[in-house]
């Protein structure tokens, strides 16, 4: 199935209630499970990744399929390794290509019993849950922060607490900080200094929790606004001071042509002129926004040089390859100046005669390209329902802002 999206004018006005954060939802669900808490989680995300976590935590079988959900896979690997029983944890075909060896090695060195059912270093996993007694672990920080968050979430429940020593560069550090901040909201203290994190054994408090809106999902509305001719949108559900690193998008979009005004419950975003000649930015703390900004910059004709994209090749798809290919269809010639970098110098080529944007089972490909509809109505988005991974209401909300979304 494909969607054709169009709008009769370039004015963007209205209100959007943002989806809740899947990253926060999955952390809070694990914390509640670890502390046997039945306190309510308000505004829990209803996206696929969060539902996968919920279904598995409340299931009474021992074989679980996480689908495409990275955090669900990684957090449950750590969680199940300390729950007595024999568990099988698998996922989609793509999940079987996303590495997990660093986390499995770390857990096994602490006393867990995890083995691979197919390819060494990748899901599916066989987990014999038992008591984990180790108290110190060293692991590489340059592949995915989710391995570190997974260890941190179980850390206060281990007999001896946990000291984590990170080796090498640490990617997506903002997500590690998000984990520690959420743990603190549940009463757990930690120390994060340089390359070392320490969490002593302590109890999570059982508290009701309200999940914040999702800054990553919100980014697409800034992109729409930066491309609109005029407009004002009210975004409901975000906090100004957020644990989500993606809240760092505000000053970057200010450069691209969308300004932000904070209010008590949410914020207004408004169109502003941009005189940006080139966008140079390091996305190491906001990896999920690289697609939003790459598409928006090209459509605005603003050349860019992005760094800090080392993790993009092992996400829902190889996002570097996907961006080069799909923006190529629109006539933008992107290149990779070095590992972890992506650039557009302004070079154009003839665009495809019929443009169908492939989404590669990646929700962010669909949502990052949707703002094209502000400028033209002849671009089709393939497999648009991929958005359910993080933002099930995305297309309906677009319709409520007077976009026509037609199934082809």
Ligand X SMILES: C=C(OP(=O)(O)O)C(=O)O
- Mark the binding-site residues for 3-phosphoshikimate, compressed into ranges: 22-23, 27, 144-146, 172, 288, 315
Number of residues engaging ligand X in binding (CB under 6 A): 8
The answer to whether 38 and 50 have CB atoms below 8 angstroms apart is no
Q: By CB under 6 A, is residue 246 in contact with ligand X?
A: no
Q: Which stretch binds ligand S3P (CB under 6 A): 105-113, 119-127, 170-178, 290-298?
A: 170-178
Active site residue: 48, 49, 65, 288, which one? 288
Residue 276 CB-density burial (10 A; 0-12 exposed, 13-18 middle, 19+ buried): middle
| Residue 218, CA distances (Å) to 133, 240, 247, 368 in order | 41, 13, 9, 11
311 binds, among ligand S3P, ligand X, none (CB under 5 to 8 A by kind): ligand S3P
CB of 145 to ligand S3P, least distance (A): 3
* β-bridge pairing 404-407 and 2-6: antiparallel
The answer to whether 138 and 157 have CB atoms below 8 angstroms apart is no
382 binds, among ligand X, ligand S3P, none (CB under 5 to 8 A by kind): none
Query: Cα(250)–Cα(269) distance, rounded to whole angstroms?
Result: 10
Q: Would you call 288 a catalytic residue per the annotation? A: yes
The answer for 92, left when phi > 0, alpha when psi is -120 to 50, beta otherwise, is beta
390 binds, among ligand X, ligand S3P, none (CB under 5 to 8 A by kind): ligand X
Instruction: Give the alpha-carbon dihedral of 277, 282, 288, 289, to 10 degrees.
Output: -20
Residue 379's DSSP bridge partners are 355
Q: Which stretch binds ligand X (CB under 6 A): 66-74, 198-206, 243-251, 333-341?
A: 66-74
CB of 368 to ligand X, least distance (A): 10
Subset of residues 369 to 408 that bind ligand X, contact rule: CB under 6 A: 390
Subset of residues 116 to 145 that bind ligand S3P, contact rule: CB under 6 A: 144-145
145 binds, among ligand X, ligand S3P, none (CB under 5 to 8 A by kind): ligand S3P
- Cis before 364? omega within 30: no
* Cβ closest to ligand X, residue 140 vs residue 271: 140
* Cβ closest to ligand X, residue 227 vs residue 365: 365
Name the DSSP class of 325: H
* β-bridge pairing 258-262 and 85-90: unpaired
Subset of residues 306 to 335 that bind ligand S3P, contact rule: CB under 6 A: 311
Q: Which stretch binds ligand X (CB under 6 A): 57-65, 67-75, 120-128, 326-334?
A: 67-75
* Cβ closest to ligand X, residue 102 vs residue 158: 102
How much helix, strand and coil, in percent to the nearest 5, is found in the chain?
35, 25, 40
CB of 208 to ligand X, least distance (A): 25
User: Which residues are near ligand S3P by CB under 6 A?
Assistant: 23, 71, 144-146, 149, 171-172, 175, 287-288, 311
Catalytic site residues?
A: 288
């Amino acid at each position: 199935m494909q969607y054709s999206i169009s709008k009769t004018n370039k004015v963007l006005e209205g209100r959007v209630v943002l989806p809740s954060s899947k990253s926060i939802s999955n952390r809070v669900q694990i914390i509640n499970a670890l502390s046997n808490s039945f306190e309510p989680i308000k505004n829990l995300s209803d996206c696929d990744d969060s539902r996968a976590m919920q279904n598995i935590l409340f299931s009474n079988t021992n074989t679980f399929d996480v689908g495409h959900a990275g955090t669900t896979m990684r957090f449950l690997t750590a969680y199940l390794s300390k729950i007595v029983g024999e568990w099988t944890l698998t996922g989609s075909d793509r999940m079987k290509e996303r590495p997990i060896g660093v986390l499995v090695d770390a857990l096994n060195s602490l006393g867990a019993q995890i083995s691979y059912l197919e390819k060494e270093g990748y899901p599916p996993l066989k987990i014999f849950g038992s008591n984990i007694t180790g108290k110190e672990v060293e692991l590489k920080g340059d592949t995915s922060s989710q391995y570190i968050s997974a260890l941190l979430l179980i850390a206060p429940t281990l007999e001896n607490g946990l000291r984590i020593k990170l080796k090498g560069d640490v990617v997506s550090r903002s997500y590690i900080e998000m984990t520690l901040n959420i743990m603190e909201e549940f009463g757990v203290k930690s120390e994060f200094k340089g390359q070392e994190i320490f969490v002593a054994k302590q109890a999570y408090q059982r508290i009701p929790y309200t999940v914040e809106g999702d800054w990553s999902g919100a980014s697409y509305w800034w992109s729409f606004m930066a491309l609109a001719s005029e407009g004002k949108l009210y975004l409901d559900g975000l906090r100004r001071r957020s644990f989500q690193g993606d809240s760092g998008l505000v000053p970057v979009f200010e450069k691209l042509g969308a300004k932000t005004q904070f209010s008590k419950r949410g914020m207004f975003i408004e169109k502003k002129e941009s005189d940006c000649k080139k966008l140079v930015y390091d996305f190491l703390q906001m990896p999920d926004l690289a697609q939003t900004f790459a598409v928006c910059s090209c459509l605005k004709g603003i050349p860019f040089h992005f760094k800090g994209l080392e993790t993009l090749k092992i996400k829902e798809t190889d996002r570097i390859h996907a961006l080069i290919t799909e923006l190529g269809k629109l006539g933008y010639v992107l290149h990779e100046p070095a590992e972890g970098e992506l650039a557009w110098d302004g070079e154009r080529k003839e665009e495809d005669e019929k443009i169908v944007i492939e989404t590669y089972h990646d929700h962010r490909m669909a949502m990052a390209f949707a703002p094209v509809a502000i400028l033209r109505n002849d671009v089709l988005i393939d497999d648009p329902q991929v958005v359910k991974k993080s933002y099930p209401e995305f297309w309906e909300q677009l319709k409520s802002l007077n976009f026509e979304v037609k199934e082809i």
